[in-house]
Chains A and B, each alone.
Chain A
Amino acid sequence: SQQGEEDPQALSIQEGENATMNCSYKTSINNLQWYRQNSGRGLVHLILIRSNEREKHSGRLRVTLDTSKKSSSLLITASRAADTASYFCATDGNDMRFGAGTRLTVKP
C-alpha cells in the first residue's frame, strides 16, 4: 500500500496571502483526498479529487491533480487565521493512507 507525502512540512504566511501545499504519491490511485486537522482534534474532510479530474474547487480551496507526476496541490486563497491547521492528503489504492501533513500557520 502507499501513502501521500506532503510538503512543505511547515508553512507560515500572513492573513490574506495564499497558501499552497503539495502532495506526492508513488503508485496509481482512484482518488486523492485532502483533510484538515486542527490542533488536538480529529481530521475533517475537505475535498476529494478523482483520478480522471485535473482540478476541483470548493470555496477558497483549489485542488489540482497531476497523475503523470503523481502529485496534487492544495491552494487556499485569501487565507485567514482560522485556516491555521495541519493539512493531510490521503490516497486510496486498496485502502486510504495518510502522509505526515503540512502544518500551516496563518498570522493575523
Chain B
Amino acid sequence: DTAVSQTPKYLVTQMGNDKSIKCEQNLGHDTMYWYKQDSKKFLKIMFSYNNKELIINETVPNRFSPKSPDKAHLNLHINSLELGDSAVYFCASSHHSGGAGDTQYFGPGTRLTVL
C-alpha cells in the first residue's frame, strides 16, 4: 500500500546506455514530478505532469524524456547516459498542480550510478 513507488531503487549502468525509471502513485493525485538530487543534496525539479500533460520542463538535456501513460504513472527515460547523470532521482505527486498549499508526496528515490 505504498503511496508513491519507484523502480528500480538502485541502477548502475555504463556511460552511453539508455535506461528508464518507473514511478507509480496510488493516491489519486493529478500531478506528478521528477526531481534530481545531486551529491551536494540540492534538490532540483526536472519535470511536472498534470493529468498526463507536461506543465513544467526545466532546463534538462533532451536526453531525459518523461512519459506519462496515465495520471498514476510518470516514467523517466534517459538516453545516452553520462557520468554527470549520477544522482538520486525522486518521483513525487500532489493533488493539484503544486501551487498554493499543495503538499507533495515523495517516492523513496532511485540511486543512479553511471560508470
Interface 9-residue window, one of A11-19, A54-62, A64-72, A94-102: A94-102
B74-110, CB < 8 A from A: 88, 90, 92, 97-109
- Chain B residues in 8 Å Cβ range of A96: 45, 98-99, 102, 104
- A residues 85-103 near B (Cβ < 8 Å) are 86, 88, 92, 94-101, 103
- Assess the A94–B90 pair: CB atoms within 8 A: no
The answer to whether A95 and B45 have CB atoms under 8 Å apart is yes
A selection of 18 A-B contacts at a CB cut-off of 8 Å is A30-B99, A30-B101, A31-B100, A40-B109, A42-B108, A43-B90, A43-B92, A92-B99, A92-B102, A94-B99, A95-B45, A95-B97, A96-B98, A98-B43, A100-B40, A100-B41, A100-B42, A101-B41
Contact assessment for B105 and A45 in the assembled complex, using a CB-CB cutoff below 8 Å: yes
The number of A-B residue pairs with CB atoms under 8 Å apart is 64
Contact residue among A40, A48, A50, A99 (Cβ-Cβ distance under 8 Å from B103): A48
- The answer on a CB contact under 8 Å between B98 and A43 is no
Q: Are A95 and B107 in contact (CB under 8 A)?
A: no
Q: Residues of A contacting B27 with CB < 8 Å?
A: none
Q: Select one of B56, B101, B104, B111 contacting A43, CB under 8 A.
A: B104
A-chain residues with CB within 8 Å of residue B40 when the two chains form the complex: 100
A78 at the interface (CB under 8 A from B): no
Tell me the minimal C-beta distance from A42 to chain B in angstroms: 3
- Give 11 A-B pairs besides A94-B99, A96-B104 with Cβ atoms closer than 8 angstroms: A40-B88, A40-B109, A42-B90, A42-B106, A43-B104, A43-B106, A48-B101, A95-B99, A96-B45, A96-B98, A98-B43
